[in-house]
Amino acid sequence: MNIYERHHTIQANECDMFLLWRPGAVMVAMQETASEHSSILGVGMKEMIENGIAWVLSRGRVQMHRMPHCSERITIRTYPLAPRHLFWPRVHIFFDEQGVEIGQAVCLWLVMDMTDRRAVKNSYVESRMPLNRELSCSIGMPATVYPIDAPCVKRLLEPQFTDADCLGHVNNTRYLDWCCNALGYPVMKDYYLSSFDINYTAETRLNEQLTTTLCLHGDRFSYTGCMGDTQRFAISGRLSPRDAVK
């Protein structure tokens, strides 16, 4: 199965206070559909652990034409593309109940050797992943994120217990929640994140304290987290008015 589809009804616990799908929940759905498809292909978590390797998300790009709302039924279509160096791109396309495309996303995944904690090429993975050379991604690959040139606010942030996943580090989906919290109610009551790029540059553990930097100018924003001089994550993107959502 080179292409996988999952039907999904947006639940209330996936939405913000205005009943739109949260960016963090979008990332959760992408992660879950990627995991389900990987298991079908024989490169799911169980098989990867047995081979001493794991999938690690490096970068992501999401562009939504419209953010779905609570109780809306959508379809998520996903497929991997041919590898680029050590990166395995995976595309996600979102459709509404009428089959109209409402957004696209693409993530770059790495295969990590769990002993050496480094990205590797792996023959087991390569033998099972479809190349899908006839398929593509219309939104382009995720970019390197740089802080925008705008007034910035710095804060200290310490990850909490519920931020961690089964690997013991902050789950990749949580950084979008942190970003929305940093933008805060004065911004988020009128706008939502309609597009963003996110870079995961290093693991964040529970006992660490990050310095986060939020920069905002018009509809553009960036949000980064660093431990000393080492960047752990970086997000940049655009905001769209909530009143434009139909």
Q: At a CB cut-off of 8 Å and minimum separation 6, what does 11 contact?
A: 70
pLDDT at 116: 86
* Secondary-structure percent of the chain, ordered helix, strand, coil, rounded to 5: 20, 40, 35
Q: Residue 165: pLDDT above 90? A: no
| Res. 169 pLDDT band, cuts 50 70 90 | confident
* Domains and their CATH numbers in the chain: 1-142 (3.10.129.10), 143-246 (3.10.129.10)
pLDDT of residue 117: 86
Q: Label residue 166 by pLDDT band (50, 70, 90).
A: confident
pLDDT for 225 equals 97
For the residues 67-94, what does the mean pLDDT come to?
97
The yes-or-no verdict on residue 26 having pLDDT over 90 is yes
- Percent above pLDDT 70 for the chain: 99
pLDDT of 35 above 70 = yes
55-72 pLDDT per residue, tens: 999 999 999 999 999 999
Cα dihedral 124, 126, 129, 133, rounded to 10, equals -170
14 within 8 A of 73, measured Cβ to Cβ: no
- How much is the average pLDDT of 105-129? 94
Q: What is the mean pLDDT of residues 182-206?
A: 96
Q: What is the pLDDT of residue 244?
A: 75
- 246: pLDDT strictly greater than 80: no
User: What is d(CA 119, CA 49) in angstroms, rounded to the nearest whole number?
Assistant: 15
Q: What is the pLDDT of residue 245?
A: 67
167, pLDDT greater than 80: no
DSSP for 146-199 reads ---SS-EEEEEE---GGGB-TTSBB-TTHHHHHHHHHHHHHHHTTEEEEEEEEE
| Assigned token pair, 191 | 């706008």
- If you average pLDDT over residues 27-50, what whole number do you get? 96
Please report the pLDDT score of residue 243 as a whole number: 87
Q: Estimate to the nearest angstrom the gap between the alpha carbon of 121 and the chain centroid.
A: 22
Asked if pLDDT for residue 232 goes beyond 90, the answer is yes
